[in-house]
Structure 1
């Protein structure tokens, strides 16, 4: 199967997944407690005014009519209007999405940069202190809740040592790009340094579990590959040990690692809610929490749909990267 046919097939499958998510998210509104009209109106409002507001919001329409009106606008980017602010949901979600993507990508970079070398070191020095240290690090990283870790990092590194800020996102990558376009590299470098300074603690908090997971997966894969026949044959031919480890064994190990990285990147996009709340990071997680508290269902639905679309796209990209890492993997 060619790459184009594979992408078409996976895209069609992804559309069905997204449609399922849209349907489930739409149905959750009707089984969840709370009435959106109660958020907009005081308890002692006149019943006629209440009925008029419900009619204006379309909440009195049959379920199938509401579902069709909701679904039909999604392909055109119309996610409805916020019940609280009466502004387009798509605009609010798009405004918050870059911050979440920055945090997810930064956490992934932290995890990959630390985990893969640590996993290789642990596998090549099995039953040595380096291996035991990597194993302990993995167990601690997987066992540590990210909300507790975030609070501890703030207390120690931000409050006690004053090395990092406690919260906020002063400038995003989009702002740095504007500085570069404006022709002021010095300001762009300072802006990037400020952004890096603020994102370090949230990225470490969000990426710690991911780092531990990739470390254990890399170690397991490397141990399996180092025991294969082709590795012994490569050594028998006199190839340098570094070449055997990193070009041959590590490359084959990266296939499951790429899978987990792709899946976890999609998970990080939607799972950064607690981390964003701890560090007041203005992303989709903060928007989801605020919309839940305000019973703003259109904003919540739009945010979850965008997360689902991002998860599907990341999975398709990961599958397409298989053949690049290992040409023996076919697109079927």
Structure 2
């Protein structure tokens, strides 16, 4: 199969997955108990007013007609209207999406900076205390719930020591960089770093443990290959062999998992955002669930699903470009 056909196949599969997400979320809204009109007007409103609103928003139409109209709106970028907030859903999501992306990318950076060196050390010092320590760290990282870790970090590093702020996001990364470029002062950037540090560590802990184990297993496979023995026989330094040759050959599956996990982090930041009051899609989703704001709930879930699918397609395309054998699978 050619690269172009492979890419078209992945895109079509992604479109099908997005359609499934849209269909499931619409079905959940239709199956939810209660009258949707109650979310727009007071339950004590007159029957005439309720019927008028039902006609205006299309709730008097058959369910399949409502579904088709919703799909038509999504095609042109219309995610609906939040009657609780009296605002377009697309605008409400656009306000919070940058904060979620900042947190997901920061968590990925934290995981990579910690996990890859730790995995290399664990592989090169197999069955030594460093290897056992890395294994224990991975086990603890995978087993620790994010919400508990976040609360403990707040209690110790914020409340007791006062090293980091408790919660919030007073400045965005974009504004901090603009301030640094225009004024030459890094105050806003430092403020952003101090506020995102604990949420990024909390969200990236599980990811760190996963990448550590993946790096270790990949390094062990590569260290047993003949080219490593040949480079050692040439007298190359051990650090150069490990990081330039062995780690480089291990990076393809790591990069693949990094891309896939980035999509998972975007959707999995809900609890972390709630713990740290981080103004992202996760906290907005929880607020929408409490308010039973179905248009906003649907919009956020669809955006997260589309983001996850796009990242998967991008990773698959890069992987197929680097390793053409993938297109034959």
TM-score by length of structure 1 reads: 0.93
Structure 1: gaps (5+ residues): none
Q: How does 1:27-42 map to 2 (within 5 A)?
A: 27-42=27-42
Q: Which residue of 2 aligns with 1:235?
A: 232
CA displacement at 1:4 relative to structure 2: 4.8
Describe the SS at the equivalent of 1:44: coil
Alpha-carbon displacement from aligned partner over 1:120-147 (angstroms, at most 9, x marks no partner) = 1001001111111111111111110000
Q: In structure 2, what is the Cα distance between the partners aligned to 1:54 and 1:40?
A: 10
Describe the SS at the equivalent of 1:78: coil
Check whether the contact 2:137–2:209 (CA below 8 A) recurs between aligned residues. Answer: yes
Q: Which residue of 2 aligns with 1:256?
A: 253
Check whether the contact 1:36–1:83 (CA below 8 A) recurs between aligned residues. Answer: no
Q: Which residue of 1 aligns with 2:217?
A: 220
Q: Which residue of 1 aligns with 2:63?
A: 63
Describe the SS at the equivalent of 1:77: coil
User: Which shifted more, 220-229 or 192-201?
Assistant: 220-229
Q: Which residue of 2 aligns with 1:291?
A: 288
Q: Which residue of 2 aligns with 1:170?
A: 170
Check whether the contact 2:3–2:320 (CA below 8 A) recurs between aligned residues. Answer: no
Q: How does 1:187-206 map to 2 (within 5 A)?
A: 189-206=186-203
Check whether the contact 2:177–2:189 (CA below 8 A) recurs between aligned residues. Answer: no
1:277 and 2:290 correspond:
no
Cα distance change, pair 329–114 in 1 and its aligned pair in 2 (3 A): farther
Alpha-carbon displacement from aligned partner over 1:32-66 (angstroms, at most 9, x marks no partner) = 33433223333333222222222222222111111
Cα distance change, pair 2–240 in 1 and its aligned pair in 2 (3 A): farther
Q: In structure 2, what is the Cα distance between the partners aligned to 1:134 and 1:84?
A: 49
CA displacement at 1:252 relative to structure 2: 2.3
Q: In structure 1, what is the Cα distance between the partners aligned to 2:286 and 2:323?
A: 43
Q: Which residue of 2 aligns with 1:109?
A: 109
Describe the SS at the equivalent of 2:163: coil
CA RMSD for the aligned pairs?
1.9
Q: In structure 2, what is the Cα distance between the partners aligned to 1:2 and 1:162?
A: 57
CA displacement at 1:329 relative to structure 2: 4.7
Q: In structure 2, what is the Cα distance between the partners aligned to 1:154 and 1:48?
A: 52
Alpha-carbon displacement from aligned partner over 1:192-238 (angstroms, at most 9, x marks no partner) = 11000000000001011111111111111111221223322333344
Q: In structure 1, what is the Cα distance between the partners aligned to 2:156 and 2:33?
A: 40
Q: Which residue of 2 aligns with 1:185?
A: 184
Cα distance change, pair 197–276 in 1 and its aligned pair in 2 (3 A): same
Q: Which residue of 2 aligns with 1:304?
A: 301
Q: Which residue of 1 aligns with 2:160?
A: 160
Q: In structure 1, what is the Cα distance between the partners aligned to 2:4 and 2:175?
A: 35
Check whether the contact 2:99–2:279 (CA below 8 A) recurs between aligned residues. Answer: yes
1:129 and 2:122 correspond:
no
Q: Which residue of 2 aligns with 1:318?
A: 315
Check whether the contact 1:83–1:297 (CA below 8 A) recurs between aligned residues. Answer: no
Alpha-carbon displacement from aligned partner over 1:252-272 (angstroms, at most 9, x marks no partner) = 222222222111110110110
